[in-house]
Amino acid sequence: MLQQLRAMCYDSILAKKLWTTQISILGKSEGEKVMNCDFGYVDIAFKNGSVVTIDSANTISEAVGIKGNKIVVVGSNAEVETIINDKTTVIDLQGRSLLPGFIDTHYHPILNGFFGKDEDAAIIATGYDNCQSIKDIQNLIKKAAAKRKPGAWISMMGYDQNRLAEKRHPTLEELDEAAPNNPVQCMRTCGHVCIYNSKALETVGIRNAADAANFPCNEIVVENGSLTGMVLDHTHFHIWSKVDYTEEQQFKAAMYSNKLLLESGITSIHDLGECDKPSYHIMQKLCRERKFKPRNYMVLHSIYGKPASLEDVDHFLALGLMTGIGDDYFRIGSCKFMIDGGTSGPSCATRKPYCHAPNVPGILGWERKEVAEYIKKINDAECQCTSHAVGDLAIEFMVEGYEKAFATNPRPDLRHRIEHCAITDQDLIDRMAKLGVCPSCNPGFLAWNGTNYTKYYGDRMRYFFALRSMIDAGVMVSIGSDAPSGPLNSMSILDACVNRTDRTNDKPVDQTQAITLMEAIRLYTYNGAYASFEEKKKGSIEIGKLADLVVLSDNILSVSKDKIRDVKVDLTMIDGIVEYERQ
Buried b (16+ CB within 10 A) or exposed e, 493-502: bbbbbbbbbb
Question: Is residue 308 a part of any domain in this protein?
Answer: no
DSSP annotation of 409 reads: S
Statement to judge: residues 98 and 170 lie in one domain:
no
Residue 24 and residue 82 share a domain: yes
For position 557, what pLDDT does the model report?
Answer: 98
Q: Which among 222, 240, 258 is the end of a domain?
A: 240
Residues 187 and 215 in one domain: yes
* Segments in 409-465 forming alpha helices (H): 426-435, 445-457
The reply to whether 508 and 392 lie within a common domain is: yes
CATH value at residue 153: 3.10.310.70
Domain boundary among 213, 240, 267: 240
- What size, in residues, is the chain? 583
Tell me: do 87 and 139 sit in the same domain.
no
515: which residues sit within 8 A by CB, 6+ positions away?
467, 468, 471, 497, 498, 523
CA dist 85 and 80 (Å) reads 11
Which element (helix H / strand E) includes 80? Answer: helix 77-81
What is the CATH number for 34?
Answer: 2.30.40.10
Same domain, 459 and 353: yes
CA distance linking residue 582 with residue 569, whole number of Å: 7
Q: Is residue 344 domain-shared with residue 439, that is, in the same domain?
A: yes
Strands (E), 68-181: 70-75, 89-92, 97-100, 102-107, 115-116, 123-125, 154-159
pLDDT at 237: 94
Residues whose CB is less than 8 angstroms from the CB of residue 459 and which lie 6 or more positions away in sequence, other chains included: none
Residue 117 domain-assigned? no
Are residues 475 and 439 in contact, defined by beta-carbon separation less than 8 angstroms? yes
Closest by CA position to 79, among listed 174, 169, 6: 6
69 in any annotated domain: yes
> What is the Cα–Cα distance from 15 to 218, expressed in whole angstroms?
72
d(CA 478, CA 527): 5
- Going residue by residue through the chain (583 aa), what tens digit of pLDDT does each one get? 344 334 334 333 334 433 443 444 344 443 332 234 556 799 999 999 999 999 999 999 999 999 999 999 999 999 999 999 999 999 999 999 999 999 999 999 999 999 999 999 999 999 999 999 999 999 999 999 999 999 999 999 999 999 999 999 999 999 999 999 999 999 999 999 999 999 999 999 999 999 999 999 889 999 999 999 999 998 999 999 999 999 999 999 999 999 999 999 999 999 999 999 899 999 999 999 999 999 999 999 999 999 999 999 999 999 999 999 999 999 999 999 999 999 999 999 999 999 999 999 899 999 999 999 999 999 999 999 999 999 999 999 999 999 999 999 999 999 999 999 999 999 999 999 999 999 999 999 999 999 999 999 999 999 999 999 999 999 999 999 999 999 999 999 999 999 999 999 999 999 999 999 999 999 999 999 999 999 999 999 999 999 999 999 999 999 999 999 999 999 999 999 999 999 9
Helices assigned H by DSSP within 319-425: 368-380, 392-408
3-state secondary structure of 156: strand
Instruction: Tell me the H-state helices in 436-560.
Output: 445-457, 467-473, 490-499, 517-523, 526-531
User: Which of 240, 275, 291 is at the close of a domain?
Assistant: 240
pLDDT reported for residue 497: 98
CA 43, 292, 496: angle at the middle one, nearest 5? 90
Where helices occur in 210-345 by DSSP H, the ranges are 233-240, 247-263, 277-288, 306-318
Closest CA to 234 of 303, 184, 172, 336: 303
**Helix 2-11 × helix 15-27 angle, to 10°:** 150
For residues 500 and 510, the answer to whether their CB atoms sit within 8 Å is yes
User: Same structural domain for residues 59 and 199?
Assistant: no
Tell me, yes or no, whether 133 and 92 share the same domain. Answer: no
**Predicted local distance difference test score (pLDDT) of residue 20:** 44
Residue 178 within a domain: yes
User: Do 13 and 143 sit in the same domain of this protein?
Assistant: no
Q: Is residue 322 part of a domain?
A: no
- The reported pLDDT for the residue numbered 10 is 39
With respect to residue 439, please indicate whether it lies within any of the assigned structural domains.
yes
The predicted pLDDT at position 38 comes to 55
Q: What share of the chain is helix, strand, coil (3-state, %, to 5)?
A: 35, 20, 40
Q: Is residue 539 part of a domain?
A: no
Helix ranges (DSSP H) in 151-305: 172-178, 198-202, 233-240, 247-263, 277-288
Residues 6+ apart with CB under 8 A from 113: 252, 253, 254, 255, 256, 257, 260
Instruction: Please indicate, yes or no, if residue 427 is contained in any of the structural domains.
Output: yes
129 and 93 housed in the same domain = no
**Same domain for 460 and 344:** yes
Task: Please state whether the predicted TM-score (pTM) of the whole model is above 0.85.
Answer: yes
Q: Residue 506: which CATH number?
A: 3.20.20.140
SS3 category, 327: coil
DSSP 8-state secondary structure symbol assigned to residue 423: B
Label the pairing between strands 478-479 and 438-441: parallel
Q: What is the DSSP letter of 505?
A: T
What is the span of the domain harbouring residue 162? 123-240
pLDDT of res. 40? 78
Q: Work out how many domains the chain is built from and give that number.
A: 3
pLDDT of residue 23: 43
Please give the pLDDT value at position 39: 62
